[in-house]
């Protein structure tokens, strides 16, 4: 009985050793089967807008089948190139994350062609409690007074004037970390030239507020704004016109018809004779 137990232990040990040898050979064959070539990767976390220096990148072996498009194999070609997107430590440096050659570092490298960067002053309330961070999208709301230019009653109104505006930077920070709210007094937005004109006019005529919106929502709000009277329910809506009953056709005017009486028929002439009776004279007509 004891001999049988020892024999089973020896058999289990041999089976485990064989499994280890086979697994090692399989892993070695997989490693030798996949070719690797060196590509440029980041040696540390590099924020967006940074200019690359030699200590920021290094060459590291990378499997050929997993090599990303636009990877670099020569570190000299990356000198003084500017990142338009943040790169994490150990992540490959690829062409699509670099600004064109000759670009200067900082915010100017982040602004795409045809767009502009404009900064607006905010506080902890206007800046959505610090959650308007680089990479998020906001709507711009303006509160102002409207009314006749020559005087008269002015009315308060709040209206969304710009929608889905990308936040490029908060104060002077362009790092995109949505987990850390950052309260500052200035937010830089990415706009078109036309939107820059609207925003500049809006901040001169009223108070601005930023409205944080979903990253993937592209549909516009399409609002017409709200006034103070509408907010407080002071403006009574005009009653809907009730359909008027159709006018009755005027009764035809009575026309009097004059009926003339028939002309009297002239009496027929009578035939008369003179009668003499007993010396008396008389006249008989018929």
Query: Predicted confidence band at 237 (pLDDT cuts at 50, 70, 90)?
Result: very low
Residues 59 and 154 occupy one common structural domain: no
Q: 135 with 178, same domain? A: yes
pLDDT at residue 235, as a whole number: 64
Same domain for 137 and 200: yes
Average pLDDT over residues 30-57: 84
For residue 286, the model assigns a pLDDT of 63
Tell me the average pLDDT across 168-175.
Answer: 74
Residue 119 sits in the same domain as residue 215:
yes
Say how far apart CA 161 and CA 69 lie, in whole Å: 40
Determine, yes or no, domain membership for 228. yes
Say yes or no: 50 and 136 in one domain.
no
Domain membership of residue 130 (yes or no) is yes
In a domain, 15, yes or no: no
Query: Which residue is associated with the tokens 């200035």?
Result: 186
Average pLDDT across the chain, whole number: 79
Note whether 133 and 184 are same-domain residues. Answer: yes
Q: How far apart are CA 241 and CA 204, in angstroms?
A: 41
Would you list the DSSP string of 85-97? S-B-TTPBPBGGG
Domain co-membership, 207 together with 141:
yes
Domain limit, last residue, from 232, 251, 269:
232
- For the cut 80, the answer to whether the pLDDT of residue 193 exceeds it is yes
What is the number of domains present in the chain?
Answer: 2
C-beta of residue 209 within 8 angstroms of C-beta of residue 144:
no
Residues 6+ apart with CB under 8 A from 74: 40
Q: Per the domain annotation, does 241 fall within a domain?
A: no
Give the residue-averaged pLDDT of 113-136.
Answer: 80
Q: Are residues 73 and 171 in the same domain?
A: no
Among 88, 89, 195, 176, which Cα is nearest to 136's? 176
pLDDT at 156 over 80: yes
Do residues 224 and 120 both lie within one domain? yes
- Residues 18-31: tens digit of each pLDDT: 888 888 877 776 65
Q: How many Cα neighbours within 13 Å face the side chain of 13?
A: 6
Query: Which of 210, 232, 254 is a domain's end point?
Result: 232
212 vs 283, higher pLDDT: 212
Helix, coil or strand: residue 181 = coil
Residue whose C-alpha is closest to residue 101's, from 114, 84, 89, 86: 84
83 φψ region: left (φ > 0), alpha (ψ -120 to 50), beta (else): beta
238 assigned to some structural domain: no
Q: To 10 degrees, the CA torsion angle through 178, 181, 183, 184?
A: -20
Domain identity same for 115 and 100: no
- Does some domain include residue 190? yes
Question: Among candidates 112, 115, 110, which has minimal Cα distance to 134?
Answer: 110
Using CA atoms of 115, 118, 124, 130 in order, give the dihedral in degrees to the nearest 10. Answer: 30
Print the SS3 string covering 15-56: HHHHHHHHHHHHHHHHHHHCCEEEEEEECCCECCCCECCHHH
Q: What average pLDDT score do residues 66-75 get?
A: 91
β-bridge partners, 238: none
Domain around 222: 111-232
Task: Inform me whether the pLDDT recorded for 199 exceeds 90.
Answer: yes
Shared-domain flag, residues 149 and 221: yes
CB 92 within 8 A of CB 46: no
Whether pTM > 0.75 for this model: the answer is no
Indicate whether 275 belongs to any domain.
no
Predicted confidence band at 118 (pLDDT cuts at 50, 70, 90)? very high
Is there a domain that residue 258 lies in? no
Q: Of 108, 135, 161, which residue constitutes the final position of a domain?
A: 108
In a shared domain, residues 119 and 228: yes
Residue 105: pLDDT band (50, 70, 90) is confident
DSSP assignment, residue 248? P
Bridge-based pairing of strands 155-170 and 226-227 is antiparallel
CATH of the domain at 78: 3.90.1210.10
In terms of average pLDDT, the best of 83-87, 201-205, 228-232, 276-280 is: 201-205
Best mean pLDDT range from 13-27, 80-94, 254-268: 80-94
């Amino acid at each position: 009985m004891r001999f049988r137990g020892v024999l089973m232990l020896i058999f289990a040990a041999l089976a485990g050793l064989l499994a280890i040898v086979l697994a090692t050979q399989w892993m070695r064959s997989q490693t030798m089967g996949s070719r690797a070539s060196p590509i440029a990767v980041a040696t540390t976390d590099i924020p967006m807008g940074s200019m690359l220096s030699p200590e920021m990148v290094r060459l590291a072996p990378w499997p050929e089948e997993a090599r990303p498009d636009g990877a670099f194999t020569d570190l000299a070609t990356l000198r003084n190139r500017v990142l338009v997107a943040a790169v994490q430590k150990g992540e490959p440096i690829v062409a699509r994350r670099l600004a064109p050659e000759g670009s200067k570092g900082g915010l100017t490298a982040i602004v795409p062609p045809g767009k502009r960067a404009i900064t607006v002053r905010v506080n902890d309330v206007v800046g959505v409690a610090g959650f308007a961070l680089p990479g998020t999208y906001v709507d711009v709301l303006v509160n102002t007074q409207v009314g006749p230019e020559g005087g008269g009653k002015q009315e308060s109104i709040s209206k969304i004037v710009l929608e889905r505006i990308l936040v490029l930077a908060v104060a002077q920070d362009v790092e995109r970390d949505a987990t850390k709210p950052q309260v500052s007094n200035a937010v830089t937005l990415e706009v078109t030239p036309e939107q820059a004109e609207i925003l500049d006019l809006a901040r001169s005529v009223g108070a601005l507020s930023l409205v944080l919106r979903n990253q993937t929502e592209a549909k516009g709000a399409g609002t017409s704004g709200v006034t103070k009277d509408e907010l407080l329910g002071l403006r009574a809506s005009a009653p809907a016109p009730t359909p008027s009953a159709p006018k009755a056709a005027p009764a035809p005017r009575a026309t009097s018809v004059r009926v003339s009486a028939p002309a009297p028929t002239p009496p027929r002439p009578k035939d008369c004779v003179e009668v003499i009776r007993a010396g008396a004279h008389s006249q008989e007509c018929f």
